[in-house]
Structure 1
Amino acid sequence: MSDNNRRDAADKAGSNLTRMSLVFLAMGGVIAFYIGTGRVQLNDPVELTASISQPNTWTETGPLALDVSVTLANNTEEPLPLEVASQCDTFRWFLTDEDQNFVQSQRGEETCVEVPVRGELEGKHTISGSYTLTLDTSRVEPGNYILFLKYWGHELREPITID
Protein backbone atom coordinates (compact mmCIF):
# COMPACT_ATOMS: atom_id res chain seq x y z
CA MET A 1 0.00 0.00 0.00
CA SER A 2 1.40 3.37 -0.99
CA ASP A 3 1.75 6.36 1.32
CA ASN A 4 -1.04 8.18 -0.57
CA ASN A 5 -3.46 5.29 -0.06
CA ARG A 6 -2.59 5.16 3.65
CA ARG A 7 -3.14 8.91 4.00
CA ASP A 8 -6.47 8.66 2.15
CA ALA A 9 -7.58 5.80 4.44
CA ALA A 10 -6.52 7.74 7.55
CA ASP A 11 -8.31 10.87 6.29
CA LYS A 12 -11.51 8.89 5.63
CA ALA A 13 -11.33 7.26 9.08
CA GLY A 14 -10.77 10.64 10.72
CA SER A 15 -13.61 12.16 8.72
CA ASN A 16 -15.97 9.29 9.66
CA LEU A 17 -14.99 9.62 13.32
CA THR A 18 -15.68 13.36 13.21
CA ARG A 19 -19.11 12.79 11.60
CA MET A 20 -20.04 10.13 14.15
CA SER A 21 -18.97 12.40 17.01
CA LEU A 22 -21.14 15.21 15.64
CA VAL A 23 -24.12 12.85 15.27
CA PHE A 24 -23.77 11.64 18.88
CA LEU A 25 -23.33 15.19 20.12
CA ALA A 26 -26.47 16.28 18.25
CA MET A 27 -28.45 13.32 19.63
CA GLY A 28 -27.32 14.19 23.16
CA GLY A 29 -28.36 17.81 22.62
CA VAL A 30 -31.82 16.82 21.38
CA ILE A 31 -32.36 14.48 24.33
CA ALA A 32 -31.16 17.13 26.81
CA PHE A 33 -33.47 19.71 25.18
CA TYR A 34 -36.57 17.50 25.49
CA ILE A 35 -35.82 16.53 29.08
CA GLY A 36 -34.89 20.10 30.05
CA THR A 37 -38.06 21.60 28.59
CA GLY A 38 -40.27 18.99 30.27
CA ARG A 39 -41.48 17.43 27.05
CA VAL A 40 -40.13 14.10 28.27
CA GLN A 41 -40.52 13.22 31.94
CA LEU A 42 -38.23 10.68 33.51
CA ASN A 43 -40.42 10.28 36.61
CA ASP A 44 -43.98 9.04 36.80
CA PRO A 45 -46.47 11.93 36.70
CA VAL A 46 -47.59 11.05 40.24
CA GLU A 47 -45.21 9.07 42.40
CA LEU A 48 -45.75 7.52 45.83
CA THR A 49 -42.65 6.50 47.79
CA ALA A 50 -42.21 5.11 51.30
CA SER A 51 -39.46 4.80 53.87
CA ILE A 52 -40.04 1.96 56.34
CA SER A 53 -38.06 1.17 59.48
CA GLN A 54 -38.47 -1.27 62.34
CA PRO A 55 -37.38 0.51 65.55
CA ASN A 56 -37.36 -2.60 67.74
CA THR A 57 -36.58 -6.29 67.21
CA TRP A 58 -39.38 -8.84 67.10
CA THR A 59 -40.15 -10.63 70.36
CA GLU A 60 -42.99 -13.04 71.05
CA THR A 61 -44.43 -10.76 73.71
CA GLY A 62 -44.26 -7.67 71.48
CA PRO A 63 -44.92 -4.89 70.91
CA LEU A 64 -43.81 -4.68 67.29
CA ALA A 65 -44.09 -1.47 65.31
CA LEU A 66 -43.06 -0.17 61.92
CA ASP A 67 -42.38 3.51 61.29
CA VAL A 68 -43.59 4.47 57.84
CA SER A 69 -43.01 7.79 56.09
CA VAL A 70 -44.82 8.27 52.79
CA THR A 71 -44.36 10.98 50.18
CA LEU A 72 -46.69 11.72 47.29
CA ALA A 73 -45.03 13.72 44.51
CA ASN A 74 -46.84 15.53 41.72
CA ASN A 75 -44.19 15.64 38.99
CA THR A 76 -46.44 17.47 36.53
CA GLU A 77 -47.07 21.17 36.07
CA GLU A 78 -50.81 20.77 36.71
CA PRO A 79 -52.48 20.62 40.14
CA LEU A 80 -53.46 17.11 41.29
CA PRO A 81 -56.90 16.83 42.89
CA LEU A 82 -56.90 14.73 46.07
CA GLU A 83 -60.03 13.19 47.57
CA VAL A 84 -60.80 10.42 50.06
CA ALA A 85 -64.10 9.31 51.61
CA SER A 86 -63.04 10.34 55.14
CA GLN A 87 -59.93 11.45 57.02
CA CYS A 88 -59.33 7.81 58.04
CA ASP A 89 -58.89 6.92 54.36
CA THR A 90 -55.97 9.31 53.88
CA PHE A 91 -53.59 6.47 54.84
CA ARG A 92 -54.47 2.75 54.79
CA TRP A 93 -52.34 -0.40 54.93
CA PHE A 94 -52.35 -4.18 55.03
CA LEU A 95 -49.65 -6.83 55.26
CA THR A 96 -49.26 -10.12 53.36
CA ASP A 97 -46.66 -12.86 53.35
CA GLU A 98 -44.40 -13.33 50.31
CA ASP A 99 -47.12 -15.39 48.56
CA GLN A 100 -49.59 -12.52 49.13
CA ASN A 101 -51.61 -14.40 51.75
CA PHE A 102 -53.28 -11.93 54.11
CA VAL A 103 -51.52 -11.48 57.47
CA GLN A 104 -52.83 -8.27 59.06
CA SER A 105 -54.48 -4.98 58.22
CA GLN A 106 -55.00 -1.63 59.79
CA ARG A 107 -57.32 -1.80 62.78
CA GLY A 108 -60.48 0.27 62.61
CA GLU A 109 -60.03 1.78 66.08
CA GLU A 110 -60.20 5.38 64.87
CA THR A 111 -63.49 7.21 64.88
CA CYS A 112 -64.08 9.01 61.63
CA VAL A 113 -66.83 11.19 60.39
CA GLU A 114 -67.82 9.94 56.96
CA VAL A 115 -67.27 13.26 55.24
CA PRO A 116 -65.15 13.43 52.08
CA VAL A 117 -61.81 15.15 52.45
CA ARG A 118 -60.64 17.11 49.43
CA GLY A 119 -57.45 18.89 48.62
CA GLU A 120 -55.06 19.70 45.84
CA LEU A 121 -51.38 19.03 45.34
CA GLU A 122 -49.80 21.78 43.27
CA GLY A 123 -47.59 20.87 40.32
CA LYS A 124 -43.96 20.05 41.16
CA HIS A 125 -44.81 19.71 44.87
CA THR A 126 -44.97 16.87 47.41
CA ILE A 127 -46.91 16.02 50.54
CA SER A 128 -45.71 13.64 53.24
CA GLY A 129 -47.03 11.78 56.23
CA SER A 130 -45.49 9.71 59.02
CA TYR A 131 -47.30 6.79 60.63
CA THR A 132 -46.58 4.06 63.18
CA LEU A 133 -48.03 0.65 62.32
CA THR A 134 -48.62 -1.68 65.27
CA LEU A 135 -48.21 -5.32 64.26
CA ASP A 136 -49.65 -8.33 66.09
CA THR A 137 -46.76 -10.63 67.06
CA SER A 138 -49.11 -13.63 67.11
CA ARG A 139 -49.63 -13.06 63.34
CA VAL A 140 -46.29 -11.58 62.32
CA GLU A 141 -43.03 -13.45 62.92
CA PRO A 142 -39.53 -12.71 61.62
CA GLY A 143 -39.45 -13.14 57.86
CA ASN A 144 -40.28 -11.49 54.54
CA TYR A 145 -43.56 -9.73 53.89
CA ILE A 146 -45.21 -7.29 51.50
CA LEU A 147 -46.66 -4.09 52.91
CA PHE A 148 -49.46 -2.60 50.81
CA LEU A 149 -49.90 1.14 51.37
CA LYS A 150 -52.55 3.56 50.15
CA TYR A 151 -52.01 7.30 50.60
CA TRP A 152 -54.50 9.79 49.22
CA GLY A 153 -55.83 7.09 46.89
CA HIS A 154 -52.41 6.18 45.43
CA GLU A 155 -51.12 2.67 46.08
CA LEU A 156 -47.68 1.22 46.71
CA ARG A 157 -46.41 -2.21 47.69
CA GLU A 158 -43.13 -2.52 49.52
CA PRO A 159 -41.27 -5.73 50.34
CA ILE A 160 -40.14 -5.68 53.98
CA THR A 161 -38.22 -7.98 56.31
CA ILE A 162 -39.20 -8.32 59.95
CA ASP A 163 -36.17 -8.95 62.15
Structure 2
Amino acid sequence: MAALKPPSPASELGQRMINMSVAMIAIVGVIAYFLYTGAVEPDEPVKLTVSAVQRDAASGEKSIPMNIDLRLENNSKERIALTAPNQCEIFRWFLTDSKNEFVQSQSDEGACTQVTVSTALDAHRAMNESFPVELDPNRVRPGEYRIYVRYWGHEANAPVTIR
Protein backbone atom coordinates (compact mmCIF):
# COMPACT_ATOMS: atom_id res chain seq x y z
CA MET A 1 0.00 0.00 0.00
CA ALA A 2 1.38 3.36 -0.97
CA ALA A 3 1.82 5.96 1.71
CA LEU A 4 0.04 9.27 1.28
CA LYS A 5 2.41 12.11 0.67
CA PRO A 6 1.85 15.33 2.55
CA PRO A 7 0.87 18.22 0.27
CA SER A 8 3.77 20.26 -0.99
CA PRO A 9 4.13 23.88 0.17
CA ALA A 10 3.48 25.05 -3.39
CA SER A 11 0.16 23.18 -3.64
CA GLU A 12 -0.91 24.47 -0.20
CA LEU A 13 -0.12 28.02 -1.30
CA GLY A 14 -2.05 27.50 -4.54
CA GLN A 15 -5.09 26.20 -2.65
CA ARG A 16 -4.99 29.18 -0.26
CA MET A 17 -4.81 31.60 -3.20
CA ILE A 18 -7.83 29.93 -4.83
CA ASN A 19 -9.80 30.10 -1.55
CA MET A 20 -8.92 33.78 -1.05
CA SER A 21 -9.86 34.60 -4.67
CA VAL A 22 -13.25 32.92 -4.31
CA ALA A 23 -13.88 34.76 -1.02
CA MET A 24 -12.96 38.13 -2.58
CA ILE A 25 -15.22 37.53 -5.59
CA ALA A 26 -18.09 36.64 -3.23
CA ILE A 27 -17.55 39.79 -1.14
CA VAL A 28 -17.41 42.06 -4.19
CA GLY A 29 -20.51 40.35 -5.59
CA VAL A 30 -22.50 40.92 -2.39
CA ILE A 31 -21.48 44.61 -2.23
CA ALA A 32 -22.31 45.12 -5.92
CA TYR A 33 -25.72 43.47 -5.44
CA PHE A 34 -26.68 45.75 -2.55
CA LEU A 35 -25.49 48.89 -4.34
CA TYR A 36 -27.29 47.89 -7.56
CA THR A 37 -30.60 47.16 -5.82
CA GLY A 38 -30.41 50.38 -3.79
CA ALA A 39 -30.44 48.58 -0.44
CA VAL A 40 -27.23 50.42 0.43
CA GLU A 41 -26.68 53.94 -0.80
CA PRO A 42 -23.30 55.54 -0.16
CA ASP A 43 -23.60 59.03 1.27
CA GLU A 44 -23.02 61.72 -1.27
CA PRO A 45 -21.30 64.85 -0.03
CA VAL A 46 -24.35 66.92 -0.97
CA LYS A 47 -27.77 65.33 -1.47
CA LEU A 48 -30.91 66.99 -2.83
CA THR A 49 -34.28 65.38 -2.07
CA VAL A 50 -37.45 66.49 -3.88
CA SER A 51 -41.12 65.86 -3.16
CA ALA A 52 -44.04 67.48 -4.92
CA VAL A 53 -47.52 67.69 -3.44
CA GLN A 54 -50.61 68.88 -5.29
CA ARG A 55 -52.58 71.21 -3.01
CA ASP A 56 -55.98 71.05 -4.75
CA ALA A 57 -57.53 68.74 -7.34
CA ALA A 58 -57.35 69.85 -10.98
CA SER A 59 -60.52 71.60 -12.09
CA GLY A 60 -61.17 72.95 -15.58
CA GLU A 61 -59.46 76.21 -16.46
CA LYS A 62 -57.93 76.98 -13.04
CA SER A 63 -54.20 76.52 -12.64
CA ILE A 64 -53.15 73.46 -10.66
CA PRO A 65 -51.39 74.51 -7.43
CA MET A 66 -48.49 72.36 -6.24
CA ASN A 67 -45.78 72.68 -3.59
CA ILE A 68 -42.27 71.51 -4.33
CA ASP A 69 -40.51 70.66 -1.08
CA LEU A 70 -36.71 70.49 -1.17
CA ARG A 71 -34.14 69.24 1.28
CA LEU A 72 -30.46 69.94 0.61
CA GLU A 73 -28.14 67.97 2.91
CA ASN A 74 -24.44 68.53 3.44
CA ASN A 75 -23.09 65.10 4.45
CA SER A 76 -19.47 66.20 4.29
CA LYS A 77 -17.19 67.26 7.12
CA GLU A 78 -16.75 70.74 5.69
CA ARG A 79 -18.94 73.77 5.13
CA ILE A 80 -19.92 74.17 1.47
CA ALA A 81 -20.51 77.35 -0.46
CA LEU A 82 -23.65 77.55 -2.58
CA THR A 83 -23.70 80.06 -5.42
CA ALA A 84 -26.00 80.95 -8.30
CA PRO A 85 -25.43 83.45 -11.12
CA ASN A 86 -28.61 85.31 -10.12
CA GLN A 87 -31.66 84.90 -7.88
CA CYS A 88 -33.69 83.26 -10.68
CA GLU A 89 -31.15 80.42 -10.98
CA ILE A 90 -31.37 79.30 -7.33
CA PHE A 91 -34.46 77.20 -8.10
CA ARG A 92 -35.46 75.84 -11.55
CA TRP A 93 -37.89 73.07 -12.53
CA PHE A 94 -39.54 71.29 -15.44
CA LEU A 95 -42.20 68.58 -15.72
CA THR A 96 -42.29 65.51 -18.00
CA ASP A 97 -45.05 62.99 -18.63
CA SER A 98 -44.89 59.21 -18.16
CA LYS A 99 -43.19 58.88 -21.59
CA ASN A 100 -40.52 61.38 -20.48
CA GLU A 101 -41.87 64.01 -22.89
CA PHE A 102 -41.60 67.67 -21.89
CA VAL A 103 -44.85 69.12 -20.48
CA GLN A 104 -44.12 72.39 -18.70
CA SER A 105 -41.28 74.36 -17.14
CA GLN A 106 -40.81 77.32 -14.89
CA SER A 107 -41.77 80.57 -16.57
CA ASP A 108 -39.45 83.51 -16.28
CA GLU A 109 -41.64 86.38 -15.23
CA GLY A 110 -39.73 89.60 -15.05
CA ALA A 111 -36.03 90.20 -15.35
CA CYS A 112 -33.43 88.99 -12.90
CA THR A 113 -30.67 91.30 -11.88
CA GLN A 114 -27.33 89.80 -12.86
CA VAL A 115 -25.92 89.69 -9.36
CA THR A 116 -24.34 86.52 -8.02
CA VAL A 117 -26.19 85.09 -5.04
CA SER A 118 -24.45 82.96 -2.45
CA THR A 119 -24.92 81.27 0.89
CA ALA A 120 -23.27 78.43 2.80
CA LEU A 121 -24.39 75.13 4.28
CA ASP A 122 -22.54 73.93 7.37
CA ALA A 123 -21.17 70.39 7.70
CA HIS A 124 -23.74 67.73 8.61
CA ARG A 125 -26.59 70.21 8.24
CA ALA A 126 -29.59 70.44 5.93
CA MET A 127 -31.75 73.22 4.60
CA ASN A 128 -35.42 72.79 3.74
CA GLU A 129 -37.40 75.03 1.45
CA SER A 130 -40.80 74.88 -0.22
CA PHE A 131 -41.74 76.56 -3.49
CA PRO A 132 -45.31 77.06 -4.73
CA VAL A 133 -45.80 76.18 -8.42
CA GLU A 134 -48.81 76.73 -10.67
CA LEU A 135 -49.29 74.12 -13.41
CA ASP A 136 -51.09 75.01 -16.64
CA PRO A 137 -54.36 73.02 -16.96
CA ASN A 138 -54.04 73.18 -20.76
CA ARG A 139 -50.76 71.22 -20.53
CA VAL A 140 -51.22 69.09 -17.42
CA ARG A 141 -54.01 66.55 -17.04
CA PRO A 142 -54.60 64.03 -14.24
CA GLY A 143 -51.96 61.29 -14.46
CA GLU A 144 -48.36 60.35 -13.69
CA TYR A 145 -45.53 62.83 -14.22
CA ARG A 146 -41.94 63.43 -13.12
CA ILE A 147 -40.60 66.75 -11.87
CA TYR A 148 -36.94 67.66 -12.39
CA VAL A 149 -35.44 70.29 -10.11
CA ARG A 150 -32.16 72.20 -9.91
CA TYR A 151 -31.57 73.93 -6.58
CA TRP A 152 -28.34 75.76 -5.81
CA GLY A 153 -26.71 73.87 -8.70
CA HIS A 154 -27.73 70.40 -7.44
CA GLU A 155 -30.22 68.30 -9.39
CA ALA A 156 -32.85 65.72 -8.45
CA ASN A 157 -36.21 64.45 -9.66
CA ALA A 158 -39.32 62.85 -8.20
CA PRO A 159 -42.55 61.25 -9.38
CA VAL A 160 -45.72 63.37 -9.29
CA THR A 161 -49.33 62.24 -9.48
CA ILE A 162 -51.81 64.87 -10.66
CA ARG A 163 -55.36 64.17 -9.63
CA contact (8 A) 1:73 1:125 kept: yes
CA contact (8 A) 2:51 2:158 kept: no
Say whether 1:158 aligns with 2:150. no
What residue number does 2:68 align with?
68
CA contact (8 A) 1:96 1:103 kept: yes
Q: What per-residue deviation string (whole Å, max 9, x for no partner) do you get for residues 7-48 of structure 1?
A: xxxxxxxxxxxxxxxxxxxxxxxxxxxxxxxxxx95322111
Q: Distance in 2 between matches of 1:99 and 1:52?
A: 19
Identity of aligned pairs, percent? 37
What residue number does 2:100 align with?
100
Q: Distance in 2 between matches of 1:122 and 1:130?
A: 20
Q: What per-residue deviation string (whole Å, max 9, x for no partner) do you get for residues 96-132 of structure 1?
A: 1112111000010143111111222111111221111
Q: Distance in 2 between matches of 1:135 and 1:43?
A: 33
Q: Distance in 2 between matches of 1:128 and 1:105?
A: 22
Q: Distance in 1 between matches of 2:155 and 2:149?
A: 6
Q: Distance in 1 between matches of 2:159 and 2:133?
A: 15
RMSD: 1.4
Q: Distance in 2 between matches of 1:63 and 1:99?
A: 23
Q: Distance in 2 between matches of 1:123 and 1:133?
A: 30
Aligned partner letter, 2:118 = R
**What's the TM-score, normalizing by structure 1?**
0.71
What residue number does 2:124 align with?
124
Query: Equivalent residues in 2 for 1:31-70 (5 A)?
Result: 42-70=42-70
Secondary structure of the corresponding residue to residue 88 of structure 1 = helix
Query: Equivalent residues in 2 for 1:123-142 (5 A)?
Result: 123-142=123-142
Structure 2: 5+ residue runs without aligned partners? 1-40
CA contact (8 A) 1:83 1:117 kept: yes
Q: What per-residue deviation string (whole Å, max 9, x for no partner) do you get for residues 59-100 of structure 1?
A: 122221111111100011111121111011111100011121
Q: Distance in 2 between matches of 1:115 and 1:158?
A: 30
Aligned partner letter, 1:149 = V
Shift of 1:137: 0.2
- The runs of at least 4 consecutive aligned structure 1 residues that moved more than 3 Å come to none
Q: Distance in 2 between matches of 1:134 and 1:115?
A: 26
Shift of 1:161: 0.8
Aligned partner letter, 1:141 = R
**What's the TM-score, normalizing by structure 2?**
0.71
Query: Equivalent residues in 2 for 1:79-94 (5 A)?
Result: 79-94=79-94
Q: What per-residue deviation string (whole Å, max 9, x for no partner) do you get for residues 116-152 of structure 1?
A: 1122211111122111110000000001111001110
